[in-house]
């Protein structure tokens, strides 16, 4: 992944059409947009009022909680339902939705309208738009950039007495960790410590079993310790890559962090629970997707100068972070194809992308993210940019749901339920995934 500063700057004038240029005739009617129920969705509702004003299109929205987001909308897609005209689908859905004909292939539309994928962060194009991966076949427009990163209690880290004690114990200055070894030392330092009369803990990390939580957490460590989903020279050859010695060491570290340095009752933590742990003053550090940062910054108790941000730490085999976020796709069976495509054309406009960022979304447009205005807009802007430059993503195969369920089980059984060894967990995961790909005729 190239560093962001090396990317070409500026969206092309042809791609960044003014919202005013969207023709009313092509967008008239009604559209339903489907997504998860969270703060960025509320921002999109507000943003879309401009589309309605400019085109006369009535916008309806179907938002469901993250815990049921995948089940709800994957069932909708698989059943051929017609609820959604537009959908912000998870990055992992792109393979199945492309191969099963659920999404419209947008290449011809992009070419007609002068929309270039070179104007978006390469990681978001790869993660949200392409199938097959690495090919110039686009099934979505990058819409909501997101990535796993960390926040920390900056006010605690800056206390002179804690800085002195930490330096004496570990030999380096207490601050945002650059490596997982440093993160572990900080977590151990704060675990069980009393601050302002309250017992606090080292870190909040993802452990949730039911949907995707623990996978979205542990992959941040596994990537940095050398895990590969498959042999780069032989697709679907996983033996020795998913369960490599480095991957085993990374999984062992994640379990150590969970056992050593998380709050009591942290066995089923995902986005909401992790936010709560940080907001309530329980933890010194908090793993979560970047979409949480604007809200935390505004929080009366832990926000402002009290909170700091850092990218996912590096490991012995590299420096990566788990990609989040979504692209926006047009459903192939929409009854308002012209209107849905007009929404895409409108959304890509530079003025719209800037407002999207201002309202609380995370644009994927290079011209917006590299602008001086964005980089000076918040204390977390640089951390977001640095994080998006190091992303990797989970499988985007059509069978991703089965692949995810297998990983959720194997990792949770080892990390949280304390069953077996890390080597056994990853060996069994390779077996599970092999069976999935054999059933699909790919092995």
Q: Is it the case that residue 142 has pLDDT exceeding 70?
A: yes
Contact indicator for 318, 224 with CB cutoff of 8 Å:
yes
* CA–CA gap between residue 16 and residue 339 (Å, rounded): 18
pLDDT, position 18: 36
Q: Is it the case that residue 26 has pLDDT exceeding 50?
A: no
Residues 244 and 262 in one domain: yes
- Residue located via tokens 């406009």: 349
Give tens-digit pLDDT for 254-299: 999 999 999 999 999 999 999 999 999 999 999 999 999 999 999 9
pLDDT, position 28: 65
* CA–CA gap between residue 51 and residue 58 (Å, rounded): 9
11-15 contact pairs (CB < 8 A, 24+): 11/116, 11/119, 11/350, 11/353, 11/365, 11/366, 11/367, 12/114, 12/116, 12/118, 12/119, 14/113, 14/114, 14/115, 14/116, 15/113, 15/114, 15/115, 15/116, 15/119, 15/348
Residues 357 and 384 in one domain: yes
Residues 272 and 292 in one domain: yes
* CA–CA gap between residue 288 and residue 148 (Å, rounded): 5
Q: Is it the case that residue 9 has pLDDT exceeding 70?
A: no
Residues 76 and 181 in one domain: no
| In a domain? residue 368 | yes
Phi and psi, residue 132, nearest 5°: -60, 155
Helices (H) and strands (E) in the chain, counts: 20, 11
Q: Is it the case that residue 44 has pLDDT exceeding 70?
A: yes
359 CB burial (10 A radius; 0-12, 13-18, 19+): middle
pLDDT, position 79: 96
The count of structural domains within the chain is 2
Mean pLDDT of 68-84: 95
Give tens-digit pLDDT for 219-243: 999 999 999 999 999 999 999 999 9
Q: How far is CA 81 from CA 58, 73, 84, 234, 332, in A?
A: 20, 9, 8, 37, 11
Q: Which of 278, 302, 322 is the last residue of a domain?
A: 322
Q: Is it the case that residue 2 has pLDDT exceeding 90?
A: no
Which pairing describes strands 307-311 and 141-153: parallel, antiparallel, or unpaired? Answer: antiparallel
CATH number of the domain bearing residue 229: 3.40.190.10
Q: Which two tokens stand for residue 56?
A: 């006369």
Q: Which of 302, 322, 342 is the last residue of a domain?
A: 322
* Tally of residues, the chain: 443
Q: Which two tokens stand for residue 143?
A: 């819409």
Nearest to 212 by CA among 255, 257, 271, 126: 271
pLDDT, position 41: 97
Q: Give the number of other CB atoms < 10 A from CB of residue 65.
A: 11
* CA–CA gap between residue 429 and residue 218 (Å, rounded): 14
| In a domain? residue 407 | no
* CA–CA gap between residue 310 and residue 280 (Å, rounded): 20
Residues 11 and 142 in one domain: yes
Residues 290 and 219 in one domain: yes
- Residue located via tokens 């290449």: 107
Q: Which two tokens stand for residue 417?
A: 């339920």
Residues 93 and 115 in one domain: yes
HSE-up of residue 172 (Cα within 13 Å, Cβ side)? 11
Mean pLDDT of 427-442: 97
Residues 259 and 383 in one domain: no
* CA–CA gap between residue 49 and residue 382 (Å, rounded): 30
- 100-123 burial: b if 16+ Cβ within 10 Å, else e: eebbbbbeebbeebebbbebbbbb
17-21, 179-183, 400-404, 426-430: range with lowest mean pLDDT: 17-21
Give tens-digit pLDDT for 348-391: 999 999 999 999 999 999 999 999 999 899 999 999 999 999 99
Q: Which two tokens stand for residue 437?
A: 């790909």
* Cβ-Cβ contacts under 8 Å for 255 (sequence gap 6 or more): 414, 415, 422
Residues 108 and 97 in one domain: yes
| In a domain? residue 96 | yes
Cα torsion through 134, 135, 141, 146, rounded to 10 = -10
| In a domain? residue 50 | yes
Phi and psi, residue 310, nearest 5°: -150, 150
DSSP code string of 309-353: EEEPPBBTTB--EEEEEEEEEEBTT-S-HHHHHHHHHHHTSHHHH
On the question of a cis peptide bond just before residue 343, with omega within 30 degrees of 0, the verdict is: no
| In a domain? residue 101 | yes
Q: How far is CA 314 from CA 39, 180, 354, 361, 402, in A?
A: 29, 6, 31, 27, 29
Beta bridge partners of 60: 32
Residue-range definition of the domain harbouring residue 305:
148-322
Residues 232 and 263 in one domain: yes
Q: Is it the case that residue 1 has pLDDT exceeding 50?
A: no
Residues 132 and 153 in one domain: no
Could you give the percent of the chain with pLDDT greater than 90?
93
Mean pLDDT of 386-412: 96
Q: Which two tokens stand for residue 282?
A: 């329980």
pLDDT, position 375: 87
CA angle 97, 143, 223 (to 5 degrees): 75
Residues 57 and 166 in one domain: no
Q: Which of 301, 322, 343 is the last residue of a domain?
A: 322
Claim: this prediction has a pTM higher than 0.85:
yes
| In a domain? residue 207 | yes
| In a domain? residue 433 | no
| In a domain? residue 432 | no
């Amino acid at each position: 992944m190239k560093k962001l500063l090396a990317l070409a700057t500026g969206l092309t004038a042809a791609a960044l059409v003014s919202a005013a240029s969207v023709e009313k005739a092509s967008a008239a009617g009604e559209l339903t947009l489907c997504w998860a129920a969270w703060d960025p969705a509320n921002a999109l509702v507000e943003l879309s009022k401009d589309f309605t004003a400019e085109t006369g299109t009535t916008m309806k929205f179907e938002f469901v909680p993250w815990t049921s987001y995948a089940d709800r909308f994957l069932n909708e897609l698989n059943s051929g339902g017609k609820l959604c005209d537009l959908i912000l689908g998870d990055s992992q859905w792109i393979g199945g939705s492309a191969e099963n004909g659920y999404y419209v292939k947008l290449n011809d539309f992009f070419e007609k309208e002068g929309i270039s994928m070179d104007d978006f962060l390469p990681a978001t194009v790869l993660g949200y738009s392409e199938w097959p991966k690495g090919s110039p076949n686009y099934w979505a427009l990058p819409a909501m950039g997101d990535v796993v990163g960390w926040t920390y209690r900056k006010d605690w880290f800056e206390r002179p007495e804690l800085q002195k004690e930490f330096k004496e114990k570990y030999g380096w200055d207490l601050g945002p960790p650059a490596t997982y070894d440093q993160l572990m030392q900080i977590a151990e330092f704060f675990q069980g410590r009393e601050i302002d009369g309250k017992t606090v803990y080292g870190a909040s990390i993802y452990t949730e079993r039911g949907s995707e939580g623990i996978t979205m957490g542990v992959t941040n460590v596994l990537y940095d310790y050398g895990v590969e989903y498959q042999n780069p020279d032989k697709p679907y050859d996983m033996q020795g890559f998913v369960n490599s010695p480095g991957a085993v060491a990374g999984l062992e570290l994640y379990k150590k962090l969970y056992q050593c340095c998380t709050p009591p009752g942290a066995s089923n933590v995902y986005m909401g629970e992790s936010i709560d742990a940080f907001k309530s003053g329980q933890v010194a550090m908090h793993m979560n997707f970047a979409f949480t940062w604007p809200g935390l910054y505004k929080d009366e108790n832990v926000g402002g100068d009290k909170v700091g941000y850092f990218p996912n730490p590096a490991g012995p085999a590299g420096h990566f972070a788990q990609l989040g976020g979504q692209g926006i796709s047009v459903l192939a069976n929409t009854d308002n194809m012209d209107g849905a495509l007009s929404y895409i054309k409108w959304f890509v406009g530079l003025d719209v992308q800037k407002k999207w960022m201002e309202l609380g979304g995370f644009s994927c447009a290079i011209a917006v993210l590299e602008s001086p205005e964005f980089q000076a807009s918040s204390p977390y802007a640089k951390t977001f940019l640095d994080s998006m430059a190091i992303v990797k993503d989970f499988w985007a195969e059509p069978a991703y749901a089965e692949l995810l369920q297998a990983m959720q089980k194997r990792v949770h059984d080892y990390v949280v339920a304390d069953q077996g060894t890390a080597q056994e967990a990853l060996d069994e995961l390779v077996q599970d995934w092999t069976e999935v790909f054999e059933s699909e005729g790919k092995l």
